[in-house]
Amino acid sequence: MSSLNSGSSVYHGVKGFYWRQADFTLVSTHGTNGAYLEAAWPQLREQLLATKPRHGVDLSSGKHIKATDISLNLSSEHSTYCVRELYDPARPDSILGLVCNKNAASTSDDSSADLVSWAELFVLCETRLLPPTERTSGNLDEKDAQLASRVADIFDQYLRNVTRNDKWSIGRSHFESCVLNFVTRRQPIQFCLPAFPCKSPSAEKTCGTDPDGAEHLALKTLDEFARRVGDIYSPGAIVLIVSDGHVFSDLLEVKDDQVDIYGESLKQMYHRMESRKQCNGNIQFTSLTDIFFGNREVTGLLQKQWVEQVELTHPIDSERSENAELCRKLMMALGQNDKTMLRSLISSQDRSTLGLYRGLSRFMLDDLSQSRAFAGGLSVSKRKKMASAVAAEMMVRNCAYSNLVELLFPSHVRLSIHAHDNSGPKFAIRLLAAIAVDDLESRSAQASLDNYHTPTPWHNCLAYVEGEPTPYLVKARAAHDAIAKGYLQGAWTGSENGSYFALKPPTATTSTHVAPPLAVVIPQSPVAMAAQDEVVVSAVEKRQPLLVQEYPVLGRMLPVVYVPLRWTTEYILQMGGAWWTWTSA
């Protein structure tokens, strides 16, 4: 069966990494074709020794990259490859190699004028693949293996999300293997989590654009997990949050500048937690712009005109910054899958692809419900069509970003807020120690619109109900409705740990059962009340007739049509009454 993640990007041309010594002794290989590279190493070594490098690049740091074209029998599709090797003066006996399919563009005499060449050089310089270790699989310490197993236990008990078709029993060995790579080196265990993009633009889900109490609780959860690992492993653990805000912001009608503000506010929130001793400093942050612009000696080799050829689909209009747009294009050049294959899988009713596509379409229909793109009397059918277009582009972007993360963080334990089955290489987590509910009256479990996301702080709000130890994760609309209907009292409340809904049951009740909602009476003059008794009236509008929901423009026409029609009807009734009285007489 065809794979959704197929294409011709740099990622799809990468055959693998390897580490070798200065005397060309192979130390290790990494990647899906690692075993083939290891088997073909005698041929590869011979050609590297006999072939003059096609070109070289000297970096200001003293590092040097050589590119050599070779021929190998690694697959039936390609036989010619480009091998790039990174020489680092800090590690003279550890040389990192990257083997890629030979691209026609790579034959250019001026290698710096080619986007593919730059992208391969970028991957080689920026990948965080662990360097060689003296320990091998044959001389591993049994205590190290036991330690990796205990770390897996902590993850299983404290952070792992469980799905209906969970395959943790299969994926656990992969998890432990990733952990073991750090343990054998006595280095902090590195976890990688693409997450924390920006607040949802829907006012029915969130109460603003800044990180709030939900983000605070999520950061605390991640930090506490890393602390527990540190309790049994002295080098500790680090969770790297890789913000995916700029990957999707233009699809959500969120300004790129707002993504930057959210990301910076999130860092400041965590630093405040550190200063108050509320966390242990186990979380680090990076983003798409940090990834591409963090190393100036590599970014300086890029010419922006090379990126003009990269196509980027924008289903809706949004305010985009130049830097963020450049990063999105570079991401697509490095990792984009084949859009034709995506359309083919959807058309052929591929179960997995179609399910994800439909789920994301429903999710985006909800997330964009109050966007400018949906304004102006757009019919429900047109909204659905636009949401589906956004969902398709989101699937393509997500695949490209995932491929980029795989290239740059190949040794990290990969965590995800998506509901993967935990068979590896990604492992699903629950960010919040909160009860996710659809409403605060029945407290029914929150239903997923796409069966793909686990509950997140950027799509929800945190609500604390007086007398209940565990907070609730809810949409803002649910909290406003509970207050307006009289089920609960309270308001959105500011706090040094992030804002949240502070709620409590009504102070006075006349019966033991929950009364039906009463009409909300707004006083004509201000009424003094204590801060804790502040009441917020729901901003959710009364549900409109079905015809008006389908054609919103009718909602604006009703007053124009209704008032004259009512006057006319009353006039006819009055005249009819007068005629009946006259004829009866």
The pLDDT tens digits of the residues spanning 209-226 come to: 999 999 999 999 999 999
Mean pLDDT score, 178-201:
96
Please indicate whether residue 465 or residue 137 has the higher confidence score (pLDDT). 465
Is 493 exposed, middle or buried, given 0-12, 13-18 or 19+ CB atoms closer than 10 A? middle
Is 508 exposed, middle or buried, given 0-12, 13-18 or 19+ CB atoms closer than 10 A? exposed
Mean pLDDT score, 144-151:
96
Is the predicted pLDDT of residue 534 greater than 70, yes or no? no
Residue 75: the pLDDT is 64
The pLDDT tens digits of the residues spanning 3-49 come to: 788 888 999 999 999 999 999 999 999 998 888 899 999 999 999 99
Is the predicted pLDDT of residue 308 greater than 70, yes or no? yes
Residue 447: the pLDDT is 67
Lowest-confidence region among 7-21, 277-291, 466-480, 512-526: 512-526
Task: Look at strands 283-287 and 435-436 and give their pairing.
Answer: unpaired
Residue 585: the pLDDT is 41
Is the predicted pLDDT of residue 372 greater than 80, yes or no? yes
- Check: CB of residue 504 under 8 Å from CB of residue 465: yes
Q: How many CB atoms lie within 10 A of CB 46?
A: 12
CA distances from 229 to 148, 150, 169, 223, 434 (A): 10, 9, 20, 10, 22
Residue 579: the pLDDT is 47
The pLDDT tens digits of the residues spanning 246-295 come to: 999 999 999 999 999 999 999 999 999 999 888 889 999 999 999 999 99
CA 36 to CA 14: how far, in whole Å?
Answer: 13
Is the predicted pLDDT of residue 309 greater than 90, yes or no? no
At residue 68, φ and ψ (nearest 5 deg) are -130, 135
Residue 215: the pLDDT is 97
The pLDDT tens digits of the residues spanning 547-571 come to: 444 444 444 454 444 444 445 555 5
Residue 538: the pLDDT is 28
At residue 464, φ and ψ (nearest 5 deg) are -105, 125
Q: Please state the separation of Cα 111 from the chain's center in Å.
A: 34
Is the predicted pLDDT of residue 196 greater than 60, yes or no? yes
Is the predicted pLDDT of residue 536 greater than 60, yes or no? no
Please indicate whether residue 33 or residue 146 has the higher confidence score (pLDDT). 146
For residue 527, give the DSSP letter: -
CA 402 to CA 31: how far, in whole Å?
Answer: 15
Is the predicted pLDDT of residue 419 greater than 90, yes or no? no
Average pLDDT along the chain: 84
CA 263 to CA 408: how far, in whole Å?
Answer: 21
- Residue 289: name the closest of 249, 236, 231, 244 by CA: 244
Is the predicted pLDDT of residue 577 greater than 80, yes or no? no
Q: What is the dihedral of CA 89, 95, 101, 104, to 10 degrees?
A: 30
Q: How many CB atoms lie within 10 A of CB 536?
A: 16
- Residue 35: name the closest of 15, 50, 52 by CA: 15
Residue 103: the pLDDT is 65
Is 68 exposed, middle or buried, given 0-12, 13-18 or 19+ CB atoms closer than 10 A? buried
Mean pLDDT score, 343-350:
90
Which amino acid, 530?
A: A
CA 221 to CA 279: how far, in whole Å?
Answer: 10
Which amino acid, 498?
A: G
Is the predicted pLDDT of residue 107 greater than 70, yes or no? no
Residue 370: the pLDDT is 81
Most confident of 172-186, 380-394, 528-542: 172-186
- In the structure encoding, which two tokens stand for residue 53, read together? 């490098």
CA 544 to CA 551: how far, in whole Å?
Answer: 11
Lowest-confidence region among 249-258, 384-393, 444-453: 444-453
CA 182 to CA 188: how far, in whole Å?
Answer: 6
Q: Which residues contact 304 (CB under 8 A, 6 or more apart)?
A: 326
Mean pLDDT score, 486-507:
93
State the number of CA atoms in the 13 A half-sphere of 143 facing the CB. 3
Across 384-506, where does the E strand assignment appear?
A: 413-416, 426-428, 435-436, 461-465, 472-474, 489-493, 500-504
- Check: CB of residue 333 under 8 Å from CB of residue 119: yes
- In the structure encoding, which two tokens stand for residue 496, read together? 């040094």
What residue spans define the domains of the chain?
A: 10-126, 137-428, 435-533, 553-584
Listed in sequence order, the DSSP H helices in 276-350 are 288-293, 296-299, 322-335, 339-347
- Residue 295: name the closest of 411, 454, 124, 132 by CA: 124
Is the predicted pLDDT of residue 535 greater than 50, yes or no? no
Residue 137: the pLDDT is 52
- In the structure encoding, which two tokens stand for residue 318, read together? 């949004």
Residue 106: the pLDDT is 45
Mean pLDDT score, 315-337:
94
**Fold of the domain built from segment(s) 10-126:** Profilin-like (3.40.1840)
